Amino acid sequence: MVVKVYGPAYASPKRVLLCLVEKEIDFETVPVDLIAGENLTPDYLQLQPFGSLPVIQDGDYTLFESRAIIRYYAEKYKTQGTDLLGKTLEDQGLVNQWLEVEAHNYHPPLLNLVLHIMFSPHFGIVRNEQVINESEEKLVKVLDVYEDRLSKSKYLAGDFFSLADLSHIPFTSYLVGPVGKEYMIKERKHVSAWWDDISSRPSWLKVLEICK
């Protein structure tokens, strides 16, 4: 029985798919159409009561929140595929630190850009230029910190690719693509090199292929 991942068309589930590919774990995907409100059906809400994507089913075991799911598989299959957690407790601490940075500092302004530029007028979003400008300003400040960090460290948590870098890939792909703000990455030498590195990993190319 393979892991089922719900909602592959969207970015948060792609964090999970990336992790599963890096860890060489078989999976199947189940489409969920957000625009048609398929995340708000009673069946879906039984699995994920907040109506968010993704959720996974692994036999009898159900888990939601993409960053919880990737932590689970990275640890459960630690000795298989890419090691995404680091070797020591302190390495793991830093991976979690930068995962939290992604979740609290990087993701919120980027999500605003994605919702207002890509998804409005769906989901009740009315495109708001002030929100877009303020979000871009916030993201600039975060990227400046990343530029400094990545000038001293090859990847966010250290000299190894980890869950922390992986977690950035799907939404950053939106930023440099349909959101139309590639310059935010390209204008920063070390962020740009880091992005080129992580976005050319075979796992990401495979995820894009699967989700075409």
Q: Which residues bind other proteins (CB under 8 A)?
A: 49-50, 61, 63-65, 67-69, 71-72, 75-76, 89-90, 92-94, 96-97, 99-101, 103-105, 108, 142, 145, 148-149
Sign, CA torsion 35/46/31/57: positive
Minimal distance, residue 107 CB to other proteins, in Å: 9
Minimal distance, residue 105 CB to other proteins, in Å: 6
By beta-carbon proximity to other proteins, the closer residue of 60 and 129 is: 60
Minimal distance, residue 129 CB to other proteins, in Å: 19
Minimal distance, residue 191 CB to other proteins, in Å: 14
208: nearest Cα among 21, 6, 4? 21
By beta-carbon proximity to other proteins, the closer residue of 103 and 211 is: 103
95: nearest Cα among 160, 142, 173? 160
User: What DSSP string describes the chain?
Assistant: -PEEEE-TTSHHHHHHHHHHHHTT--EEEE---TTTTGGGSHHHHHH-TT--S-EEEETTEEEE-HHHHHHHHHHHTTTSSS--S-SSHHHHHHHHHHHHHIIIIIHHHHHHHIIIIIITTGGGPPP-HHHHHHHHHHHHHHHHHHHHHHHH-SSSSSSS--HHHHTTHHHHHHHHTTT--THHHHTSHHHHHHHHHHHTSHHHHHHHHHT-
By beta-carbon proximity to other proteins, the closer residue of 92 and 135 is: 92
Minimal distance, residue 104 CB to other proteins, in Å: 7
By beta-carbon proximity to other proteins, the closer residue of 33 and 75 is: 75
By beta-carbon proximity to other proteins, the closer residue of 90 and 197 is: 90
By beta-carbon proximity to other proteins, the closer residue of 101 and 198 is: 101
Minimal distance, residue 159 CB to other proteins, in Å: 17
